[in-house]
Structure 1
Amino acid sequence: MNAKPASAVSPLDIERVRADFPLLSRTVHGKPLIYFDNANTAQKPVSVIEAVDRHYREHNANVARAVHQLGEEATSAYESARDAIARFIHAPSRDEVILTSGTTQSINLVAYSYALPKLKAGDAILTTVMEHHANIVPWQLVAERTGATVKAAPIDANGELILEKYVEMLTPEVKLACVTHVSNVLGTVNPVREIARECRRRGIPLLVDGSQAVPHRPVDVQALGCDFYAITGHKMLGPTGTGALWAKREHLMAMPPFFGGGEMIREVRFEGTVFADPPHRFEAGTPNIAGFAGIPAAIGYLEGIGFDRLHATEQDLLAYALDALETVPGMRIFGRAKEREPVISFLIEGAHANDMATLLDLQGVAVRSGHHCAHPLMHFFGVPATLRASLAFYNTKAEVDGFIEAIAKVRKLLV
């Protein structure tokens, strides 16, 4: 990320920012909430909440199926989300942006509409050890149906992808390559641009899971050079049940529909159906219209802060949190990538992750525990689960201090 030096970035007025997020002011078990589960889902600013509320109060109707005023307003709001996402990720065309329920649906769409018709016995799909299950299981399902295999590129002890090994594994039988932009467990930022360049040299399409990238850094799909890029709205301040798949038009035009139903057709006869052009070909049925009404507000909020300021704030907070955690006896932190986003996975010797998370919750601290939908990564580190503290620009150093104090209290009960 080509960010400005921290000294050149004006600081955030953190109290003003936090005032925009109503949930941050609540208490949990009688304690002020410390919300460190942002990689799971981000909190929503008032502007997003109001956009969804306004849709239901003033514009509620279905999209693309009515010529009355409300229908036109709902359609306009829905299509505005496509425009906002296309601009946000620098897509060449809005018609290359398919609105989905999130990254999981987006990847499944590629698996069943792009990969399944092309794969045959002996072919392979390449992914990595650090992937979320959403970037593993769909490939396994289509591989089982076609006789193809799924290969996983290794990582090192720091939680960084071994790039040369990934490139070595881009052999002729690989028909699709996949990689997460940012690990949901480690925060590791992968060298997507370099991977895309090596894939292009070999004629191998590349899919990127961008769920954990878009909340923290600017994304330009054209500059990255990938073929598919998937995002999830609720991790970037937007409503749940929203997301998108960007894909090169050449792929979309050749892909058959994944779902069938209304809105994705030109004409239906029992003799056969003529499908709509992308993106509507892949958007059968009634979508989460109200959710997508909140997406332009979410994007507008991130852009209003500016990724330079957001990045500087989060990196400063990450460094502060890592230094503080290092002082905790028995602490084991997973992942030491040189470039990372504010996600920290850890364990404390003698304490089970779920027990820690449960007791931290009683102290008002929300962190995630478990395998984080990343079983292969847990196996790599030889643990069944970790605790994960994931930070956002609206978190504070005072919250980190409260987090460390809570850990000290809980540790005395468990160790």
Structure 2
Amino acid sequence: MEKYNIDKIRADFPILKREVNGKPLVYLDNGATTQKPNAVINSIAHYYTDMNSNVHRGVHYLSQISTDAFEVTRKKLQSFINAPEDKQVIITKGTTDSINLVATCYGRAFIHAGDEIIISAMEHHSNIVPWQMLCDEKGCKIRVIPMNDKGELDMDAYQNLINERTKLVAVTYVSNALGTINPVKEIISIAHKHGAVVLIDAAQAVQHIQVDVQDLDVDFLVFSGHKMYGPTGVGVLYGKEDLLNAMPPYQGGGDMIKEVTFEKTTYNELPFKFEAGTPNIEAGICLNEAIDYINSIGLKNIEAYEHELLEYALEKLSQIPGMKFIGTADQKCSVISFIIEGTHPYDVGVILDKLGIAVRTGHHCAQPVMDRFGIPGTIRASLALYNTKEEIDILVAGIQRAVNMLV
């Protein structure tokens, strides 16, 4: 790959220059949210100082330029995931909102009593609870693809679970708790052979690996802006056009209508049918800068760099006495989840924080994963394009210090 200029990249993220508890910040909680480059930060100020206006509604100049900028992001997202048309890109509040949209709209129209929904044993709560709510309402059933001790899905079990009653399969592309990269293309192909539609949660994927919705032949794909160096409060739902057209809208209000009378309302065309009310305009516009930033480095370069960093981290961490990795899949990216014999994850996390090291501890909104491994939680170090081997060394030294204090 071309030379990966990590110093230049780190200089783009002002928060990486700050100290925490008198120590240089080592930010390894990127699975929760990523830090923002100057391009994104500056674009937020630019929106409010030069463009601020509501979108899709006004004939005046500011409304027009805000609308144009908002729609540029939609087109940029279309290209980013290789969607056939930009109208298939629905701007939402985030991954959770996107999943709930599908559960509500597709579920309301096409899921019935006795139907089955398949999810996996490694899902984030956001890809469990909406389907449970739907099943409670509709009288349908959830079935779960199990995983092995390495944190890999049992594909033979999946083949046995899916049947003519299966109407939808919803799985994560990359596990936020384990880092496992799931064989989603195979999962989608098997589901389609049984007439089921597939939703892929790509919240932990799009910032690390190339995602192509046409190559995957996925029916729905969802992700969040804040995990890909963009603002919070904005996300994406991609859907196949025929499915989106067939689904009733999620919410009623402004922008999602074509004509309203007291007797009847007709709905707007895609994508606006699913975008009721004033959106998070600032975040939608500024997400464009995050996409440009990722593209400027190149996802292939990012993937190669992060993989090298992951391998380095696993090697160094494995030398710590009592270290046990949770999630050792052959195909893995971005996330290292572990426990240390004789310690509680929370206690280790608190000591690391005193050293300026930000990691996540707990069940990571994936409590069934922890139950599968018989543990209350893990310590999770999640990587991004700006992390370094030097930071990994600091993490290792910090954990060793925590072990010396706790064991």
With structure 2 as the length reference, what TM-score do the two structures score? 0.99
Are 2:11 and 1:19 equivalent residues in the alignment?
yes
Please state how far the C-alpha of 1:349 moved relative to its aligned partner. Answer: 1.0
Tell me, in whole angstroms, the C-alpha distance in 1 between the residues paired with 2:112 and 2:384. Answer: 43
Q: Alignment partner of 1:195: what SS? A: helix
* Maintained 8 Å contact 2:145/2:154: yes
What's the counterpart of residue 224 of structure 1?
Answer: 216
How far apart are the structure 1 equivalents of 2:300 and 2:115? Answer: 42
Matches for 1:76-95 after TM superposition, within 5 Å:
76-95=68-87
Q: Which residue is equivalent to 1:190?
A: 182
User: In structure 2, the residue corresponding to 1:294 is in which secondary structure?
Assistant: helix
Question: Are 2:339 and 1:347 equivalent residues in the alignment?
Answer: yes
Deviation at 1:408, TM superposition (A): 1.2
- Whether 1:211 and 2:167 are equivalent positions in the alignment is no
Q: Secondary structure at the match of 1:261?
A: coil
Give a deviation string over 1:112-165, Cα, whole Å, max 9, x none.
000122222211100000000111100000100010011110011100111121
The structure 2 residue matched to 1:250, chosen from 220, 242, 248, is: 242
Identity of aligned residues (%): 47
Structure 2 letter corresponding to 1:34 = V
Matched, 1:288 2:288: no
Q: In structure 2, what residue type is equivalent to 1:185?
A: A
Deviations 1:175-218 (A, max 9, x none): 10111000001111011111111111111101000000001011
**Bigger Cα displacement from structure 2, 134-143 vs 71-80:** 71-80
Opposite residue 168 of structure 2, the aligned amino acid is L
Q: Of the candidates 241, 246, 263, which is equivalent to residue 233 of structure 2?
A: 241
User: Partners in 2 of 1:80 and 1:53 — Cα distance?
Assistant: 18
Question: What aligned pairs does 1:1-12 form with structure 2 within 5 A after superposition?
Answer: 9-12=1-4
1:396 maps to what in 2? 388
Structure-2 residue corresponding to 1:378: 370
C-alpha offsets along residues 72-110 of structure 1, whole Å, 9 cap, x if unaligned? Answer: 111111111111111100000001010001110000000
Quick check: 1:124–1:175 contact (8 Å CA) kept in 2? Answer: yes
Would you say 1:274 and 2:266 are equivalent positions? Answer: yes
Equivalent runs, 1:297-336 vs 2, <5 Å: 297-336=289-328
* Counterpart selection for 1:356 from 348, 352, 357: 348
* Cα deviation digits, residues 261-320 of structure 1 (max 9, x gap): 111001111101111012100000111100111111111111111122111110110001
The aligned amino acid for 1:45 is P
The question of whether the paired residues in 2 share the 8 Å contact of 1:126 and 1:177 is answered with yes
- 1:392: how far off? 1.1
SS of corresponding position for 2:289:
helix
User: What's 1:116 paired with?
Assistant: 108
Matched, 1:56 2:48: yes
Provide the rounded CA distance (Å) in 1 between the counterparts of 2:182 and 2:3. Answer: 27
- Secondary structure at the counterpart of residue 244 of structure 1: strand
SS of structure 1 residue aligned to 2:119: strand
Spell out structure 1 runs of 4+ moving beyond 4 A. Answer: none
Residue pair 1:167, 1:195 contacting (<8 A) in 2 also? no
Q: Distance in 2 between matches of 1:315 and 1:380?
A: 26
5+ residue gaps, structure 2, are none
Contact 1:188 1:341 in 2 (8 A): yes
Aligned partners of 1:72 and 1:246: how far apart in 2? 25
Q: Does 1:66 align with 2:52?
A: no
SS at match of 1:57: helix
Would the aligned equivalents of 2:54 and 2:278 in 1 still touch at CA under 8 Å? yes
**Matches of 1:164 and 1:102 in 2, distance apart?**
32
Q: Which residue of 1 aligns with 2:123?
A: 131
Deviation track 1:42-98 (CA, whole Å, cap 9, x = no partner) reads 111111111111001100011111111111111111111111111100000001010
Q: Kindly indicate whether the alpha-carbon contact (under 8 Å) linking 1:84 and 1:295 is maintained by their aligned counterparts in 2.
A: no
CA contact (8 A) 2:210 2:300 kept: no
Q: Distance in 2 between matches of 1:261 and 1:355?
A: 47
**Distance in 2 between residues matched to 1:271 and 1:167, nearest whole Å:** 48
For 1:61 and 1:157, how far apart are their aligned partners in 2?
Answer: 52
- 2:405 is aligned to 413
Q: Secondary structure at the match of 2:273?
A: helix
Amino acid at match of 2:367: H
C-alpha distance in 2 between matches for 1:10 and 1:406:
32
Structure 1: where are the runs of 5+ without partners?
A: 1-8
For 1:389 and 1:99, how far apart are their aligned partners in 2? 29
| Cα shift at 1:167 | 2.1
Paired AA for residue 220 in structure 2: F
CA RMSD, aligned part only? Answer: 0.8
Letter in 2 for 1:102: G
Whether the 8 Å contact between 2:201 and 2:221 is mirrored in structure 1 is yes
Q: State the AA in 2 paired with 1:36.
A: L
Report the residue type matching 1:143 in the other structure. Answer: C
Q: How high is the TM-score relative to the length of structure 1? A: 0.97
Instruction: Indicate if the aligned counterparts of 2:83 and 2:212 stay in contact, CA closer than 8 A.
Output: yes
Instruction: Write the letter of the residue equivalent to 2:341.
Output: E
The separation in 2 between residues aligned to 1:308 and 1:271, in whole angstroms, is 54
Cross-structure match for 1:103: 95
Question: What is the alpha-carbon distance in structure 2 between the residues aligned to residue 177 and residue 13 of structure 1?
Answer: 40
